[in-house]
Amino acid sequence: MKVQSSKEFKLQREVEYGTPEQNKAVKEIVAAIKKEGDTALLRYTERFDGALLEPGQLRVTPEELQAAYSKVEESFVLAIRAAAANIRAFHARQKRNSWMDMQPDGTILGQIIRPLKRVGVYVPGGKAAYPSSVLMNVIPAQIAGVPEIVMVTPPSTGGTEGIDPYILVAAAEAGVNEMYRVGGAQAIAALAFGTESIAPVDKICGPGNIYVALAKREVYGVVDIDSIAGPSEIVVLADDTAIPSYVAADLLSQAEHDEMASAILVTPSQSLADAVAAEVELQLQLLPRQAIARASVENYGAIIVVESMEEGISVVNRLAPEHLEIVTLDPMSLVGSIENAGAIFLGAYSSEPVGDYFAGPNHIIPTNGTARFSSPVDVDDFIKKSSLIYYSKEALLRDGKTIIELARREGLEGHARAIEIRLENEEKGGDGNGEQ
């Protein structure tokens, strides 16, 4: 792992927008689902997932769910329940109430907060099917009060009728109401436009391959989507009190995700930098996913030696990492100076995987420097707000002329007259109908 100064270091960031062919394929799939519904959905499911299904077989049955429970270890169910309880407790703190502000003149202004009605969660197939991500996408929606939470996942991952039983159990424990064995761009289009078998949703979230990502972009506006996640990132900001083997292990826990994942140590301590570099090499050799982790470390990893903690903090704020670990004896004292980081882990025991799986905060966190302006997934992502305006007659008579002046200034005479016609009529004593 390269040890370098902050001047030498330059972060490489890449965002996938897909090839023209991939974009064309996705547009065709989305259009076909919109036009043909189930017919196209089943056709693509056979073509891409090799599963020949009847419409009636798209939805996962209660019996299949029961079967899934019998296939997983009880310790897994208990672990998922413990994690889900922590995630619920944390996200429950984010819930907000509608409010109203009632004024003496009878005017009422307010903000109504409601859950989305129906949300679709995409779960990738194969090795990328992570039960923990099911919890992290579903539980915030459930806490927000979303009554209908739908999961789609491709039927090509072995296990229960083509779906990984661990995914089914995690979804059931998280509170998914409906599960369908469909995946890819066709599943995203089905959620957006609806088919005979799958009712349309208001928002689609969850990770997926490039086709899924392009399909989400394609249907955005018809439904809401979550942000497209980039490769995982971790930055560890540590001084010489950090334990090199812990730091190295945490860097590698992100590096093993993806060749494009980025694991970076920022430290004023040359000795820590050298020790971590050695530890990374040592631990890499024992890692099953060594090839992936090594590629990540070599292409996107770095150990940056800075002049001071202050410089280290400014490097962190420039990187705006998805995950930040601060490993010093008094890490809390540095939090106030961290402007940009999706999730901040403090001290020697807050290893990043603690947050990935268990502590409670969401593990879906802005990547690629977008922590500058965006936030981890939370309850706010599954609500909508409506403004409420109940203006009293007294208030309108008081403020009407000001409103008319502002409207005329903008050349919107129709706006001015909507107020004026009321003022004139009420000065004539009104015709009674207006009285509230």
Given the residues 173, 279, 322, 352, the one annotated as active site: 322
H or E segment and range at residue 262 = strand 262-267
Q: How far is the CB of 116 from its own copies (least distance, A)?
A: 6
- Pair 41, 190: CB distance under 8 Å: yes
Residue 60 carries which DSSP code?
Answer: P
Closest CA to 117 of 227, 223, 196, 226: 223
Is 427 or 435 the residue whose CB approaches its own copies more closely?
A: 435
User: Catalytic: 91?
Assistant: no
In whole angstroms, the minimum distance from the beta carbon of 195 to its own copies comes to: 19
The closest of 380, 358, 377 to 137, measured between CA atoms, is 377
Q: List, as residue ranges, the binding site for Zn(2+).
A: 254, 257, 356, 415
Q: Annotated catalytic residue: which of 91, 279, 323, 352?
A: 323
325 as an active site residue: the answer is no
Q: Is 187:180 a contact under the CB 8 Å cutoff?
A: yes
Q: Which is nearer to its own copies, 25 or 403 (CB)?
A: 403
**Pick 180 or 345: Cβ nearer its own copies:** 345
Which residues, in sequence order, are CB contacts of 94 under 8 Å at separation 6+? 140, 143, 378, 379, 380
Residues that constitute the known binding site: 122, 186, 209, 232, 254, 257, 323, 356, 410, 415
Q: Which positions make up the binding site for NAD(+)? A: 122, 186, 209
- Nearest one of 280, 329, 323, 282 to 309, comparing CA atoms: 329
Number of H helices, E strands in the chain: 16, 14
CB 139, min distance to its own copies, A: 14
C-beta of 73: minimal distance to its own copies in Å? 9
Shorter beta-carbon distance to its own copies: residue 51 or 237: 237
SS3 call for 345? strand
Nearer to its own copies among residue 21 and residue 435 (C-beta):
435
Length of the chain: 436
Closest distance of CB 45 from its own copies, Å: 25
Active site residues: 322-323
